[in-house]
Structure 1
């Protein structure tokens, strides 16, 4: 591997680390990490600051995945592009600027997906929205959308299946506390 790959990995991580929710929160006089779930992402921004602020964060979080992944496609083969893309998502989850405490990587993952496979990138939000209609919560909707990706790939674009399996597992991991709460609520109600 040449140095271009490593520069792109570093750039992707740093792009992913830009805390748009934290920046927008400061514009509102709120530290987003001290409210709601504490995550620096779209869902917590909407929960704490409302839809307008959320829609200020969303394009930035998507772009954090799109920009470095798109740049990587100019210089690297598909397998290496997927590694660069993963580092953009990891930058959002573990931002260096915020002591490695970030978001869950969903919007940044969408940005990555829109570059790697635009068809899948359009299907994932549709699955999220349908799931949200039924669940009325972001966490199970995000998990459902993430697990739909490898299934769509298996049917339509098999060469991307492993990458999207990794993203699905990352999504489960970032939502592990939400999963515990959902299981606890279910046990108490049943």
Structure 2
């Protein structure tokens, strides 16, 4: 019962729409502007680099807070599960009728809080994506794959290995079925759409 309550708490913390609230304070409704997303990148586009980055950073801290709180009352394994629940809450927040961000920052925060130093690979991937593709989306997904592989190869705990792969699945699912302002697909095969969503987070 305690574990279930911790997971519920983690999901609700993840559901706090920090980027959305920051937008409202600045006179913007991120749900109605641009892509309609409430991610850190959307906040940067709408609110500017400083305010948007602060909002994105605070989003990334939600799983960190969950891990810190959980490890005070329970074991490491439960804190790992709770961190994933926080990322799920960010992507599908009950507070915004399940219209959340893509979970990149929170997933990174979760792995960092759990001690997964290979998360730097995801950061490198993000930066390379910006440089090579002018878009962080492909670099991010490749970076998280690299992180999961490196966590496995460096002899980390089985819990951390499982969590890194589970977070990758959650991020991929968010790209595949997460909220999109427009989901009208014409002239493309389902396979191509799936590939574009996974790599570029667009149809």
TM-score w.r.t. structure 1 length? 0.85
2:193 to 169, 180, 184: 180
Correspondence 1:17-56 to 2 at 5 A: 17-56=15-54
Which sections of structure 2, spanning at least 5 residues, go unmatched?
181-191, 198-203
- Across the aligned residues of Structure 1 and Structure 2, the Cα RMSD in angstroms comes to 2.2
Does the 8 Å contact 2:92/2:99 carry over to 1?
A: yes
Give the direction of change, closer, same or farther, for the CA distance of 1:120–1:75 in structure 2 (3 Å limit). Answer: farther
Whose helix fraction is larger, Structure 1's or Structure 2's? 1
Does the 8 Å contact 1:43/1:138 carry over to 2?
A: no
Task: Supply the distance in 1 between the matched residues of 2:31 and 2:140 (Cα, whole angstroms).
Answer: 20
How far does the alpha carbon of each residue in 1:111-168 deviate from its partner, in whole angstroms, 9 at most, with x for none?
1111112412334323322232212113212212221221111111262222211111
How far off is 1:75 after superposition? Answer: 2.8
Residue 166 (structure 1) aligns with? 166
Residue 187 (structure 1) aligns with? none
Does the 8 Å contact 1:43/1:54 carry over to 2?
A: yes
Equivalent residue pairs, number: 182
How far off is 1:49 after superposition? Answer: 2.5
Bigger mean CA offset, 101-110 vs 41-50 = 41-50
Task: Supply the distance in 2 between the matched residues of 1:122 and 1:71 (Cα, whole angstroms).
Answer: 24
Task: Supply the distance in 2 between the matched residues of 1:75 and 1:183 (Cα, whole angstroms).
Answer: 42
Does the 8 Å contact 1:139/1:175 carry over to 2?
A: no
Task: Supply the distance in 2 between the matched residues of 1:181 and 1:135 (Cα, whole angstroms).
Answer: 19
Task: Supply the distance in 2 between the matched residues of 1:103 and 1:94 (Cα, whole angstroms).
Answer: 8
Does the 8 Å contact 1:146/1:171 carry over to 2?
A: no
How far off is 1:56 after superposition? Answer: 2.1
How far off is 1:169 after superposition? Answer: 1.7
Runs of 4+ aligned residues of structure 1 deviating over 4 Å after TM superposition are none
Which sections of structure 1, spanning at least 5 residues, go unmatched?
185-190
